[in-house]
Amino acid sequence: MTSVEEPARPGERIRDAARTRAEILDVATQEFARAGYDGARVDEIAARTRTTKRMIYYYFGGKEQLFTAVLERAYGVIREAEQQLDVDHLDPVAAIRRLAELTFDHHEQHPDFIRLVSIENIHEAHHIAASEKLGKIGSPALDVIRRILASGQESGLFTADVDAVDLHAMISSFCFFRVSNRHTFGALFGRDLLDRAQRAHYRAMLGDMVIAYLTAERTAD
C-alpha cells in the first residue's frame, strides 16, 4: 500500500503536488487502519508526513473526504489484483480454487484493507455512498466467478442452483473473518488464524469447502 518512499534527498524539488498527495494518502491509510475513523488524528497524519495539516485540507477538503479517498485507493488495489487473474485455461474446479486462493492471499497480505472495510461497515458504508468512484464499478472477481460457474454448471460438474454473488460472499467471508477477527478469535480460542504454520492448512480448507459446496448434491432448498 506504500507508493511513496523517497528518502527526501536535499536539493530535491521541494514542491511536488503528486508526491505530497500520495504521501498523505499513505500515512492516512495507516492511521485510519490503526485507530478507526474517530480514533484517527488529523494532526498525527500530518506529523508523520513531510508536509503539514494545512495540505490535508488543501488536497482533500477534510477528514471525511480523506477517509473516502483512502477507501477508494484501497478498493482499487484489490480490483487490480482481481483483474490480473487469468483462469480461462483451467477447468472449473481448479479455476474456482485458484480464485478463492487469490482472495485468501490478498486479504492476508492487506490487513489494513480489511481494517478499513471493517471501519467503513461500522459507519454503515456512508463514505462509499458519498464516493463517485466506488459503488458504480463492479468487481472483476464477480465476472470471473460468473464465467466459471456457468462453465461448471453447463458441464454438470457443479450444482445448478449457485449464484455468483452468493459464492463471492462465501469465499470473502472466510478470508475476511480470518483477518478481521484474528484478535478476538485468538483471545477467546487461543488460536492465531494467521499463524504461518497453519497458512497452507486454512488455504486448502477454503478451497475444499468451496469445491465441496459446489459439487455436493443438495438435500432440499
Partner DNA sequence: TAGCTAACGTACTGGTTCGTACATTAGTGA
Partner DNA sequence: TCACTAATGTACGAACCAGTACGTTAGCTA
User: For binding to DNA (CB under 7 A), which residues are involved?
Assistant: 13-17, 19-20, 40-43, 50-55, 57-58, 62-64
3-state secondary structure at position 185: helix
Q: Which does 146 bind (CB under 5 to 8 A by kind): a second copy, DNA, none?
A: none
Binding-residue pattern over the window 129 to 168 for a second copy, x denoting contact by CB under 8 A: x----xx--xx--x----------------------xx-x
Q: Which does 132 bind (CB under 5 to 8 A by kind): a second copy, DNA, none?
A: none
- By CB under 8 A, what part of segment 71-130 binds a second copy? 75, 115, 117-122, 124-125, 128-129
**How far is residue 34's CA from residue 174's CA, in Å, rounded to a whole number?**
22
Residue 186 engages a second copy in binding (rule: CB under 8 A): yes
Cβ closest to a second copy, residue 84 vs residue 184: 184
Q: Which residue has the cell 448434491?
A: 217
| CA 176 to centroid of chain Cα atoms | 8
Phi-psi region at 178: left, alpha or beta (left = phi > 0; alpha = psi -120 to 50): alpha
Q: Which does 64 bind (CB under 5 to 8 A by kind): a second copy, DNA, none?
A: DNA
**How far is residue 114's CA from residue 219's CA, in Å, rounded to a whole number?**
35
Min dist CB 18 to DNA, Å, is 8
Angle, to 10 degrees, between the axis of helix 63-84 and the axis of helix 17-39? Answer: 110
User: CB neighbours of 126 closer than 8 A, spacing ≥ 6?
Assistant: 120
The burial of 157, by beta-carbon neighbours within 10 Å (0-12 exposed, 13-18 middle, 19 or more buried), is given as: middle
Q: Which does 52 bind (CB under 5 to 8 A by kind): DNA, a second copy, none?
A: DNA
Residue 178 engages a second copy in binding (rule: CB under 8 A): yes
Binding-residue pattern over the window 189 to 218 for a second copy, x denoting contact by CB under 8 A: x-x-x-------xx-xx--xx-xxx-xx-x
User: CB neighbours of 39 closer than 8 A, spacing ≥ 6?
Assistant: none
The count of other CB atoms within 10 Å of the CB of residue 79 is 14
Residues that bind a second copy in the complex, under the rule CB under 8 A: 35-39, 75, 115, 117-122, 124-125, 128-129, 134-135, 138-139, 142, 165-166, 168-170, 172-174, 176-178, 180-189, 191, 193, 201-202, 204-205, 208-209, 211-213, 215-216, 218-221
